[in-house]
Amino acid sequence: MVPRRGDQNDAVRHLQRALNKLGALLLLDGDFGPGTEAAVAEARVTLGRPGPAQADDDLLQALAALPEPSPELTAPGATFIGREEVSSPRSTAGATGIPCGRPPTAGSRSGSATTCAS
């Protein structure tokens, strides 16, 4: 079964996992929506398989042949880390977001870490 836009099933989840090997950073929700469609289009370009943004058998085979990004860090692990980095809130960090290790200053919230400005 070839996953198509609008599908919501395990075949789409499998496709999303394979697309993440190329760095798509898709949530493995099994929903073939605009994000998955864009990742399919990008995968076609990356793999040199021109065509519409559809996951046909040729693309699925090419994706299945891709190795994991690393033996120690599989595509799901890399995707999790990437999504966390992209979606991490910055409101609690300083200019760089790097904790300085200094104790909280007077007037700061109790227990909040101080961050360096540079």
Q: Is the pLDDT of residue 39 over 60?
A: yes
Q: Is residue 97 part of a domain?
A: no
Average pLDDT over residues 78-101: 63
Mean pLDDT value across residues 17-24: 93
Structural domain includes residue 116: no
Q: Structural domain of residue 75, as residue ranges?
A: 10-86
Structurally, the chain folds into a number of domains equal to 1
Question: Is this model's pTM higher than 0.75 or not?
Answer: no
In a domain, 107, yes or no: no
pLDDT range class, residue 13, cuts 50, 70, 90: very high
SS (H, E, C) the chain: CCCCCCCECHHHHHHHHHHHCCCCCCCCCCECCHHHHHHHHHHHHHCCCCCCCCCCHHHHHHHHCCCCCCCCCCHHHHHHHHHHHHHCCCCCCCCCCCECCCCCCCCCCCCCCCECCC
User: Would 106 be classed as within a structural domain?
Assistant: no
